[in-house]
Structures are given as structure tokens and as C-alpha cells.
A and B are shown apart, each in its own frame.
Chain A
Amino acid sequence: MNQPLTLTAAQKAGPKATVIALGLALAVLVAMPLLHLLPAEHALHVSAYTLTLVGKILCYAIVALALDLVWGYAGLLSLGHGLFFALGGYAMGMYLMRQSAGDGLPAFMSFLAWNELPWYWYGTSSFLWAMCLVVLVPGVLAFVFGFFAFRSRIKGVYFSIMTQALTFAGMLLFFRNETGFGGNNGFTDFKTILGFSISAPATRATLFLATVALLTGSLYLGFRLARSKFGRVLTALRDAENRLMFCGYDPRGYKLFIWTLSAVLCGLAGALYVPQVGIINPSEMAPTQSIEAAVWVALGGRGTLIGPLLGAGLVNGMKSWFTVAFPEYWLFALGALFIVVTLYLPKGVIGLIKRRGE
């Protein structure tokens, strides 16, 4: 990580080209949900399957962006971002479960012969409170974990494995039926959101647009951060933490800020993922999921903002194709991808494009 990494692809690949590419991508993404509203016979109709798939990938792209903020800029490789994503998803899921259960208890609770909601389900029938939980739960957890981790200067692989252990512990916890989140099966069979049917084309289109908006917002936030003094301090922190401390900066606050922000972004992405995909279960917290997110970022290009989005799209696109065409070989391909990217593409696809450009 000693090579200078330019802040954004935009700086070198020519800002004009990047802006045009981004604008085109945005136009396509905004058009997709609108085309979905066309009647199914129409030639330009976008199917619910495609919309869901792309929506899912967009949610993953937000995760990739959030991970890149901590890894690419601050040098903290988190292997536990799946936990924050899933927590946001579960918070949204609680609301959706309450919606479909009406005045009664969610189905899985009656199944366990519970006759009362656990205290942490209190108020989840309110959409607003659920949205607060989406932000608060991942945010507070990340803050507390980060506070202790950064205080004792845990970094490098230590930090990575600690985060992996954290998400692993979370998965074990959510697998238990007694935890009160549907155990193994998680939440599914959602019916309505804010009173609208969850499978209605208009609802799907709205959720999709919300995801596009969140992604655009996160990207803008990322740009602003990367270009601020804060972003420069993060880069400095990544490359020479000691020097930064002798300059009079306290790295803990900086790390904690970006770490918590990143977790909150993941939580929001998870909250949009659940109503679109229609299920959330503890396997989202599996260490494998989180580490896969790291390869999205690495493939796209760390320390750039467009790279992780590209990486998330490429890997997930490949995954959808492989799991249909050669399900046996997907893990081989993914494993090989990990190795190839780390060995031969230290700057990711963006780095490749840039070199071609020069």
C-alpha cells in the first residue's frame, strides 16, 4: 500500500468521460423501474426477475462502497460488514413481519408457542421507528466495537479477524430460535409495506428507485469525503499512522467516524435489500458473505469510488450466470478470482482501465 493511490478514478481518466459514463448509468438505472411498469407484452418491458436481480446488486454495490471507505481509504479491512447489512435488513424485516402479521404475532412466534412479543420488538409496527432501528442498530454496534478496537490500536489482520469473529458470533446468535428472529429461516413471506402490496410493480419500482437514490447519495457523500481534509487525513492514517499522531491528530476519532458511517450505510442497504429480495436469514451474516464483499472492492479497485461499484456488479453478475450454467464450479471461479485479483490486479479493474487510458 505504499504506492500512491489517486483519490478517484475521475481525476485521471478524465473527469468528462467519467461524468458521462456515470450519467448514462444513472439514466439506465432510473429507466429500468419505469419500464417495469409497462405491460408485460411490451417489447421494452423489464421483468420483475431482472429488476429484483439488479436491485439486489445495487444494494451490494452500496455495501462495496461502504467497505471501500474503511478499507480503501482508512486501511481497515472489515470482514464483518455482512453483519451490519443483515442487521439493517432484520430491522426492516421486523417491520415487514409486523405488517403481514396484523394485530397478531409473527407466524414463527406462534409456531414457538410464544404469546408475547419480546421487548426489542416493541414499536416495530411503526415504519419510522423501524427506520430508526435500521440506522441505530448497526451504527451503535459499530460504534461500540470500533471504540474498543481502535482504543487498543487493533489494526491489520487483527482487526480483520476480530470483525470476522463478530459477524460469526452474530450469525450463531441469530440462528437460535430463542433469540426471537425466526432462527434458521429468518423472515420471509412479507405481504405489504406501508400498506402497499410488496409484489406490486409500482412498489417494486419505488423500492428500486430508492436504492438508486441511496447509491447516488452514498457516492456523492464518498466524493465529498474523499476530497475533504478528512479524506486526506484518512489516507495519511492508512499509510503512516504514527506520523499522523506526531502531527497531533488522534486517529481513533477518524477511524470511529468512518467506521460507523460505513456500518450505517450497510444497514441502509440491507433495509432496501430485504423488501426487494423478500427474505432475510442468518446466512447473510456468514463470514463468507462479508469476505466476498472484500473481493468486490478489490476487483473494482480500492481507494476509488467507482471501482467497488464496478466490482460488485461484475462479481454478482458472474455469480448469477455461473450458478445457473455451472453451479459446481462457481466456488472454483470465486476462489480463483480472489487469487488473481490479489496477485495481478492490486489496483483492480479501474487501475487496468487507467493504465490502458495512458
Chain B
Amino acid sequence: MNTALHRLLLLLLLVLPWAAQAGDAADYAKASPAKQARLLESWAAAPAPERLPLIEALRANRVAIDQNKTPFIEENGAYRALEGDAEPVGTPKKLRLNNRLRGLLNTALASHQLFAEDPAQRLAAAKRLQRSGQPEQLELLQQRLDVEEDAAVSEALTLALANLQLTASDPAVRLAAVRLLGETGAPLARVRLENLLADEAETDAAVRKAAETSLAQVKRKLLIGELLGQAFSGLSLGSILLLAALGLAITFGLLGVINMAHGEMLMLGAYTTYMVQVLMARLAPEALAFYPLVALPVAFFVTAAIGMALERTVIRHLYGRPLETLLATWGISLILIQLVRVLFGAQNVEVANPGWLSGGLQVLPNLVLPYNRMVIIGFALFVVLLTWLLLNKTRLGLNVRAVTQNRNMAACCGVPTGRIDMMAFGLGSGIAGLGGVALSQIGNVGPDLGQSYIIDSFLVVVLGGVGQLAGSIFAAFGLGIANKILEPQIGAVLGKILILALIILFIQKRPQGLFALKGRVID
């Protein structure tokens, strides 16, 4: 005993980091599984910061004991004593964890992390405790809650606390907990309350009643979150449709033909983004985070140049024959898809979100708005604004509008219609290229990327009315939101079919789209 104490003191001086827990690791190593569990429970209830490395090592399955049951930590195949500087006697054996121990370890880890410096770590710990908290941790949570300054962590702690209090023996405590849960509006609170009400788990009538009220309250809050979530994904889909359809609306309005290769312009824009990402990773890794910004102008010019080239070589010869143009541009789209397949492979390429576009903003317990989608909504509106300025405030725009409304008259007034066609086609393709950059940030980038957008974008154009910017915006967001509202009700596929049917019926009423120019009808 005496020698042991001496040795311990010596160790305390020599191996500072391991000093305080000197006993913990050894105790744990020597204990039976049942005793290990009790140890973990006590650690969870009374966390000590020094114990954290041990818990993490245990959790990572890196603790081993030798023949003397001295605990060691395994690092890259070598063994280092957890306490003291003992050398392993014989080959150390990994300490095994069973499921129960693993669960307890997690809980203990969480209660240790509750005291971490980083609020994010504390928040994660509090959330873990919402699910797996033990009654012994009640006091600890209460303590932490009293001193917690971060609002989000506070909220998470409150919920964790209330969860635990549901199992308290005092009905008054349970009642308070139930009321507290009612105020949070978290999905977990709903589960807990439902469990409480199910199978007569709660016997106290007052608590049951309060639980019912709280449950209704939580459901209402969740519903708000869900609806807002649907509205947001609708807006997000709408912004994507808008980016995809805007260019199409310009070329269709101008030439009266559907450019079936329009979807491929989106695809090329996305591949340009990929190329920019790869090049910047190699040439300027320090600025890699801003590659989407660099990709925007590059994609615009690449796709605009391809669009203009197509207009000059193929489409120009087919004016006045819309159906033939449709077929020819389909041929172009086949060639472009196969070209990309040959050059980049048929598999999707990897386009990663930079840091500032990943993650999201937690607005409600069940509503997270991803940054990339928010940025794209803003970007879509920005592109619309630019297009509007270009069409309404510049000479080019004036010419484009003139040709759209009356080609022959414009030609008579000296508008170089051929050049305008080319420029407008380039503009439409360039906008699609910008859309491609945006798409690369939220979905897979593969050769077939554009195929799925051409029909949707055309429906936007049909619904919005030809050559009408405002119409396109309303139609894109309307379709996006309608899609996302129908999706959870009847499924994505039936939703799409229903929308198609609705559009056909809509066209019965307004054949010219939402925002049609009316006038004398002659043809």
C-alpha cells in the first residue's frame, strides 16, 4: 500500500496528463463488466475534464490490457501505458465493449463534452443526451443549464432535461417536463409525448391531460416547420427551373423554336464548373474555396460561344421550320452528351461544395435551410435582374425585343436580325451555362444532367407565355412550389403527372400562357 502510494505520487509528478485519472483507467481495466458499467454511470453523472482522453480512447476501441491488467493505449501499432510508464508484459489484449457499455460510454462522453469550450461540441453533446440521457445525469444537466450562455445549447439542454424528467417519480416534475416539451416544438418531443400517452405509460390524469395539450402544441409547431420546409424546397426547385428555363424563354420567344440542346448547355455549364474546380485545385489551391465564383464567367462564355457556334452552323439554316429545328437540335444534344461521355466518362464527376456553401441555417427544430440552396435562390433572382436590365436598358435588348415582336419590320428598320439571332442564342445558352454552375452545387454532375430539365423548362415557358420574363418567373416558382406541395401527398411521379394534366387543362383556358400579349389575330 505504501509503495503503491509512493509510486502514484511519483507518477503524478512525472506523467502530468495522465495524472488525475491514474486510478480511473486502472480501475476500469481491472473491473468486471458489471462494475465497468457502474463506473461509467458514475463518470457520466460527475464528469471530470481529465477523463476525456480515456473515454475517447475506450470508445475508439484502442485500450488494451496486458497480463497484469495494466491499461495501455494503442497508437499506430505501439502500446503506451495509460498510467505510468510500464512496458506491456506479453501481448496486450484489447478491452472489449458490449453494447450496453458502448451506450454508457457515449452518454459519459456526452456529459464530459457538455463542458467543452466549443459551443458546437456542447450542442452536439446536449443533443446526444436528448436521446440517451440517464436519470443520474439530471443534476448535471441542471447545473450546466444554469451556467450555459449559448442560446442554442440552452434550448437543447432544456429538451434533454425535460426528457429525463418525464421518468421522474414525482408527478409535479413530470407535469413541468411535459409543459416544457410542449414549448419546444422539436420532432423528438413529439415522439416522447406520444410514447408517454401510448399504452397507458402515464398514470397521472393531470399529466396525461397536459401531455395531450403539449402534443397538440408540438404538432402545430412541427406542421409550421414542415410547411415552411415545403415552401422553401418549392422556392428552391423554382429557382432551378427558372435558371433552366430563362435562356429557353429567350430563344423560344425570339425564334419560335425549341432548342432541344438547351439542357445540354446546363450540363456543359456544370462540367465547366468541374473543370474550373480541378484546375484551381492544381494551380491555386489557396483560392479553391471561391471556385464557383470563378466558374460563373467561364461557364457563361463557354456555353455562350458553343450556342453561337450552333446558331451559325445549324439553326440559322432552319428558320421558319420549327419542327425541323427541334429535331436538329435534338441531334446536337445527342452528340454533345456522347462527346462528354467519351471525354469525361459515363460516370458522374465529383463537384464539391466549398465550405461557405455547405451546411445550413437551422431556423426551426425541424427546418434547416441549406446555404447552397439559399444562395441559388438569390442567384436566380440576380440573373433575372441582369437579364431584365440587358433586355430593357441596352441597345441589344431593344433589338432583341424588336425582332421577337416583328421580325420583318425589325429587318426593315435596319436591325441586323442575323446578328441579333446569334447574340440572343448566345445569351440564352450563356444563361443556361450559369444555371449549370448552380446545378453543380446541389446535384450530381453527369452527361445526362440536362435531359431531365428540357421538358420541365419548356413547361415553364408554355405556362409563362412566350417572351414574357415575368411570366417565366411566376411559372417557374409556381411549378416548383406546386411540385413540392404535391410530392409528399401523392408521390413525386404522380405529382408530375398531375401537374402535366393541370397544365394541359390550363392551356384550355389561356392558350397563350399566363402573361400573353393580346392583339389582332392574323396568320
A–B contact with Cβ pairs below 8 Å: the answer is yes
Q: Tell me if B508 and A148 are in contact (CB < 8 A).
A: yes
Q: Report yes or no: A156 in contact with B314, Cβ–Cβ below 8 A.
A: no
Within 8 Å by CB of A77, from B257, B317, B323, B333, lies B323
Instruction: Determine if A325 is an interface residue (Cβ-Cβ < 8 Å).
Output: no
Shortest distance in angstroms between B141's beta carbon and chain A's nearest beta carbon?
Answer: 46
Please measure, in the bound complex, the distance between the C-alpha atom of A145 and the C-alpha atom of B497, giving whole angstroms: 13
Q: Is B120 an interface position by the 8 A CB rule? A: no
Q: Cβ of A334 and Cβ of B327 under 8 Å apart?
A: no
B214-222, B371-379, B499-507: which lies at the interface: B499-507
Query: Complex formed: what's the CA distance from A197 to B143 in Å?
Result: 80
Q: Mark B320-332, 1 if CB is under 8 A from A, else 0.
A: 0111111110111
Q: For the complex, what is the distance from the CA of A77 to the CA of B322, rounded to whole Å?
A: 10
Q: Which of the segments A47-55, A113-121, A161-169 contacts the partner chain?
A: A161-169
- Tell me the minimal C-beta distance from B384 to chain A in angstroms: 23
- Chain A: interface size category: 35 or more
Chain B residues near A160: list those with CB within 8 A. Answer: 258, 323, 326
Do B330 and A172 touch (CB < 8 A)? no
Q: Are B497 and A334 in contact (CB under 8 A)?
A: no
Give chain B residues whose Cβ lies under 8 Å from the Cβ of A346.
321, 324
Contact with A along B11-30 (1 / 0, CB 8 A): 00000000000000000000
Name which residue of chain A comes closest to B318, CB basis.
A342
Do B326 and A157 touch (CB < 8 A)?
yes
In the bound complex, what is the Cα–Cα distance between A173 and B508 (angstroms)? 25
Partner of A331, one of B334, B459, B494: B334
Of all chain A residues, the one with the shortest Cβ separation from B334 is A335
Question: Which A residues lie within 8 Å of B339 (CB)?
Answer: 332
Cβ A1 vs Cβ B321 within 8 A:
yes
**Smallest beta-carbon distance B339→chain A, Å:** 8
Cβ of B144 within 8 Å of any chain A Cβ, yes or no, is no
CB distance from A349 to the nearest CB of B (A): 16
Task: For the complex formed, measure the closest distance between the CB of A283 and the CB atoms of chain B, giving whole angstroms.
Answer: 13
Query: Are A334 and B331 in contact, with the CB atoms below 8 A?
Result: yes
A336 B493 Cβ-Cβ under 8 A: no
- State the Cβ distance, A281 to closest chain B Cβ, in Å: 16
Bound together, the chains give a CA A323 to CA B407 distance in angstroms of: 44
Contact B505 A328 (CB under 8 A): no
Asked if A338 and B504 make an inter-chain contact with CB atoms under 8 angstroms apart, the answer reads: no
Contact B504 A343 (CB under 8 A): no
Nearest residue, chain A, Cβ from B260: A291
Q: Is the CB of B332 within 8 A of A335?
A: yes
**A11 beta carbon closer than 8 Å to chain B:** no
Is B397 part of the contact surface with A, judged by Cβ < 8 Å?
Answer: no
Interface readout for A139-176 with B: 1 if CB under 8 Å, 0 if not? 00000010011011110111011101110110011011
Query: Assuming the A-B contacts A331-B338, A343-B314, are A157 and B504 also in contact, with contact meaning beta carbons closer than 8 angstroms in the complex?
Result: no
A338 with B331: CB separation less than 8 A:
yes
Question: Which residues of chain A are near B508, meaning CB under 8 Å?
Answer: 148, 151-152
Across the interface, name the chain A residue whose C-beta is closest to B466.
A158
In the assembled complex, which residues on chain B have CB atoms less than 8 Å from the CB atom of A149? Answer: 504
- Please tell me if the beta carbons of A158 and B331 are within 8 angstroms of each other in the complex: no
Asked if B455 is at the interface of the complex by the 8 Å CB criterion, the answer is yes
B455 and A165 form a contact (CB under 8 A): yes
> What is the minimal beta-carbon distance from A138 to any residue of chain B, in angstroms?
17
Proximity bits, B70-94, A CB within 8 Å = 1, else 0: 0000000000000000000000000
Bound form: Cα–Cα A295–B330 in Å: 10
Is B323 in contact with A337, judged by CB distance below 8 angstroms? no
Complex-state Cα separation, A1 to B323, whole angstroms: 10
Judged by a CB distance under 8 angstroms, whether A339 is at the interface is: yes
Interface size on B, residues (CB 8 A): 40
CB of A184 within 8 Å of the partner chain:
no
> In the bound complex, how far is the Cα of B252 from the Cα of A158, in angstroms?
11
A331–B327 touching, CB < 8 Å: no
For A71, list chain B residues within 8 Å (CB).
323
- Contact yes or no, B327 A157, CB < 8 A: no
A-B contact count (CB 8 A): 110
Contact of B331 among A151, A166, A168, A337 (CB under 8 A): A337
Instruction: Indicate if the CB atoms of A169 and B335 lie closer than 8 Å.
Output: no
Task: Verify if B418 is at the interface (C-beta below 8 Å from A).
Answer: no
In Å, the complex CA distance between A124 and B258 comes to: 41
Nearest-neighbor residue (CB-CB) of A241 within chain B: B523
Given A154-B511, A164-B455, are A294 and B332 also a contact pair (CB < 8 Å)?
no
Q: Is B342 interfacial (CB-CB < 8 Å)?
A: yes
Q: Contacts A168-B455, A335-B338 known; A158 to B462 CB distance under 8 Å?
A: yes
A206 at the interface (CB under 8 A from B): no
Q: Are B497 and A172 in contact (CB under 8 A)?
A: yes
Interchain CA distance A266-B494 in the complex, whole Å: 25
Cα(A342)–Cα(B331), bound, Å: 10
Q: Is the pair A77, B326 in contact by a Cβ cutoff of 8 Å?
A: yes
- Residues on A with beta carbons closer than 8 Å to the beta carbon of B338: 328, 331-332, 335
- Interface centre among A158, A165, A166, A172, by most chain B C-beta atoms within 10 angstroms, is A165
| Interface status of A298 (Cβ within 8 A of chain B) | yes
Pairwise interchain contact B321-A169, C-beta atoms closer than 8 A: no
Contact of B335 among A158, A298, A332 (CB under 8 A): A332
In angstroms, Cα B216 to Cα A27, docked, is 79
Asked if B493 and A157 sit within 8 Å, CB to CB, the answer is no
A176→B339 CA distance, assembly (Å)? 31
| A165 partner, pick from B314, B318, B459, beta carbons under 8 A | B459
| Residue B496 is within 8 A (CB to CB) of chain A in the complex | yes
Q: Tell me the smallest distance from the CB of A176 to a CB of chain B, in Å.
A: 6
Cα-based distance from A291 to B257 in the complex (angstroms): 16
Question: Bound state CA distance, A337 and B332, in angstroms?
Answer: 10
Q: Which of B322, B324, B327, B342 has the most CB of A within 10 A?
A: B327
Do B507 and A157 touch (CB < 8 A)? no
B315 to chain A, nearest CB (A): 10
B103 within 8 A of A: no
Q: Which residue in chain B gives the minimum CB-CB distance to A156?
A: B322
Contacts of A332 in B (CB 8 A): 334-335, 338-339
Q: How far is the CA of A158 from the CA of B493 in the complex (A)?
A: 22
Q: Does B337 contact A (CB under 8 A)?
A: yes
B window 256-305: CB within 8 A of A: 256-258
Contact with B along A336-354 (1 / 0, CB 8 A): 1111011100100000000
* Residue in chain B with minimal CB distance to A152: B508
Interfacial chain A residues near B331, Cβ < 8 Å: 295, 334-339, 342
Q: A152-B511, A153-B511, A339-B314 are in contact. Are A242 and B330 (CB under 8 A)?
A: no
C-alpha spacing A172/B338, complex, angstroms:
23
- The docked-state distance in angstroms from the alpha carbon of A38 to that of B332 is 46
In chain A, what residue has the closest Cβ to B257?
A157
Q: Is B477 an interface residue (CB 8 A)?
A: no
A and B contact pairs by CB, cutoff 8 A, 17 listed: A153-B511, A154-B511, A157-B256, A161-B455, A161-B458, A165-B455, A173-B497, A294-B327, A328-B338, A331-B335, A335-B332, A335-B334, A338-B327, A338-B328, A338-B331, A338-B332, A343-B317
Starting from the known contacts A157-B322, A335-B338, 12 additional A-B residue pairs (CB-CB under 8 Å) come to A145-B504, A152-B507, A161-B459, A161-B462, A165-B459, A165-B500, A169-B500, A172-B493, A332-B338, A335-B331, A335-B333, A339-B331
Chain B contact residues, CB within 8 Å of chain A: 252, 256-258, 314, 317-318, 321-328, 330-335, 337-339, 342, 455, 458-459, 462, 493-494, 496-497, 500, 504-505, 507-508, 511, 523
Partner-B contacts on A (CB < 8 A): 1, 71, 77, 145, 148-149, 151-154, 156-158, 160-162, 164-166, 168-169, 172-173, 175-176, 242, 287, 291, 294-295, 298, 328, 331-332, 334-339, 341-343, 346
**8 smallest beta-carbon distances between A and B, as pairs:** A338-B331, A335-B334, A335-B335, A331-B338, A335-B331, A342-B324, A342-B328, A152-B508
